[in-house]
A and B are shown apart, each in its own frame.
Chain A
Amino acid sequence: MPGLATMSLDNMFCTRCGDGFEPNEKIVNSNGELWHTNCFVCAQCFRVFPEGTFYEFEGRKYCERDFQVLFAPCCGKCGEFVIGRVIKAMNANWHPSCFRCEECNVELADAGFIKNGGRALCHTCNARIKADGLLNYMCHKCHGVIDGEPLRYRGEVYHGYHFTCATCGVELDHTAREVKHRPGYAANDVNNLFCLRCHDKMGIPICGACRRPIEERIVTALGKHWHVEHFVCAKCEKPFHGHRHYEKKGLAYCEQHYHQLFGNLCYVCNQVIAGDVFTALNKAWCVHHFACSVCDAPLSTRSKFYEYDERPACRRCYEKFPAELRRRLRRAHHYTIRR
């Protein structure tokens, strides 16, 4: 298309009034059509387009307001204009977010809907309402009444015998399992039905607590798999939710209860030992609380001490013990060495 500069004023005319243009006059060019600035207006209100925005319909240009008034669909629920995606259903137009199941209020735009007695319903509610009416579910495939429990698949109810196990081909009943997530498969690939036997053999991890398959996040600990919310402290039963846990005799504990139950409590202060632990004589101490039990003098990790009723006594104190007690302690010490 030739540019404006190369076109001569002689063969340029306004699209609306058909007149030519004055030299140096400002010309509006919209998609190759030329206009006088005061001819480039809304076909309805003859006013300049606010901020230059216009809507074109059947060759005519309208400002936003007039376009909506004349042509835009109104939402059947909220009465506002629908700009963008319009859902045409039930003889009306809708915002996608306004078109919802009249029973459970779920959005129907993508899920699809069923007209039931003049009401738009989702598949689940429709099936339920139908079943309520008949006291039984109705098979989504053969439309026959289902006696007993239905097989549920992709949100619909069916007779089990319309399906076979995706692995072994056996005819299914209501105990069939629908698999929606499997490692290495996209969600759409695995919307399959399996008999219980095959389902159990598929290696879907089973939660060590509730014995149900785990289809969401898995915690692996203690040689088992767990639902995140089922991996809990054996004492307080609160889930760890990724916090540190402590294992003891095949059970997991939170920090607080591990220490409370299994000991690193300081012999002197009886508190959980936060820093370094000094362990001796079947007991534990905060490093700064490890002291002679007779004179309370601090003992270091290198200090020599004597055992006295499974407690430490420093050399100075031991030497102040009555001689007959020292003799007995010495004899007891030899006895334990012999053992």
Chain B
Amino acid sequence: MSHQPPVSCIPNTGKMSKAKKVIEEAKENNNPEIDLVDKGLSSLDEIPGLFSLANITRLSVSHNKIQVVPAALANLANLEILNLANNYITELPVSLSSLPKLRILNVSLNRLNGLPRGFGSFPVLEILDLTYNNLNEKNLPGNFFIMDSLRALYLGDNDFEYLPAEIGNLKNLQILSMRENDLIEVPRELGQLARLRELHLQGNRLVVLPPEIGSLDLASNKSVLRLEGNFWVPHIEDQLKLGPSHVLDYLRSETYKVLYSRHMSAKPAPPPQTLDKSKKASRAA
């Protein structure tokens, strides 16, 4: 590369110099998007001047070793995209939820054991990616399902056994991924998500689906319905072999409504947990 790095009085030593260089270049060029992907960072506090870049709209710090997300990150009031994927994060500061323009938040591939109280108060969040963490229905904050601006909610590779009925409040949800959790049942309220076009339920412990799912528009060529790897009753399993649209047809039938209500009143014991999660990277201490 012929491009010479700008002259700086800060000593250019080790890995941190790369991060400093990115920040300085961003300041110089007024670049609103910061990429600090795979820079070996162990903390955001180590990056001098990061929190003073009030004009930046995107911060991507994937593939680092960040353990703590500083509350001061919320000073970046123009952030629209915050990508913290694949770090060592165990908890988030509640201050993130006050970022007024944040539309996309990615905290996938981390070690979250819960979310802070009041987490759900994002004003304009559209895509929330919490894939591959240690989340379940018990460690979600009470206001999680008030985020009705959400278009996509990724909760795959977590530990949910039940999906709260409040999911029905997320009226704008188009994508819901619950891939490879421990789901034993999903609520009828899922049928209220009229705009849902993508539903990932593969790799859970599901036996039946509420008939209301049949009314969702999940059979069109722009839709995705993933159901494999569950413990479906034989009728659903047979229809699934023909394709997900056949399952939806079957869910709408009168026969299935009878079968579902019988199943729900009989309350059979849930299928066993099959996924061995001990090797998940999110479990590392």
Contacts and interface: CB of A to CB of B under 8 A. Distances in A.
A335 interface: yes
A294 B280 contact: no
B179 interface: yes
Given A282-B224, A293-B106, A296-B83, A320 B157 contact: no
A147 B132 CA distance: 85
Q: Interface range on chain A: under 10, 10 to 19, 20 to 34, or 35 or more?
A: 20 to 34
A309 B126 CA distance: 17
A325 B104 contact: no
Contacts of A317: 62-63, 85-86
B154 A297 contact: no
A219 B185 CA distance: 53
Contacts of B151: 270
B156 A309 contact: yes
A322 B126 contact: no
A321 interface: yes
A263 B81 contact: no
Contact of B180 (A296, A320, A328): A328
A270 B154 contact: no
B60 A295 contact: yes
B20 interface: no
Contacts of B126: 270
A75 B165 CA distance: 85
A135 interface: no
Contacts of A321: 86, 109
A110 interface: no
Interface in B17-39: 35, 37-38
A7 B53 CA distance: 107
A51 interface: no
B132 A294 contact: no
A296 B281 contact: no
Given A270-B126, A309-B156, A295 B83 contact: yes
A26 B222 CA distance: 98
A268 interface: yes
Contact of A309 (B86, B154, B197): B154
B91 interface: no
A295 B224 contact: no
Contacts of A332: 202-203
Interface string B118-138: 000000001001011000000
Interface string A290-317: 0001111100000000000110000011
Contacts of A295: 35, 37-38, 60, 62-63, 83, 85
Contacts of A293: 106, 129
A25 interface: no
Contacts of A328: 180, 203
B177 interface: yes
Contact of A325 (B38, B198, B202, B281): B281
Contact of A324 (B35, B37, B228, B279): B279
B58 interface: yes
B205 interface: no
A294 B35 CA distance: 12
A282 B222 contact: yes
B106 A310 contact: no
B223 interface: yes
A66 B85 CA distance: 101
A208 to B, nearest CB: 26
B43 to A, nearest CB: 19
Contacts of A263: 222
B154 A296 contact: no
B108 A294 contact: yes
Given A294-B85, A295-B60, A295-B85, A322 B280 contact: yes
Contacts of A322: 109, 132, 280-281
Contacts of B202: 332
A328 B203 CA distance: 10
A310 B280 contact: no
Nearest to A296: B60
A294 B156 contact: no
6 smallest CB-CB distances across A and B, nearest first, come from: A322-B281, A296-B60, A295-B62, A295-B37, A309-B177, A324-B279
17 contacts: A268-B104, A294-B62, A294-B106, A295-B63, A296-B35, A296-B37, A296-B58, A296-B60, A297-B35, A309-B154, A309-B177, A310-B200, A310-B224, A317-B62, A320-B38, A325-B157, A335-B229
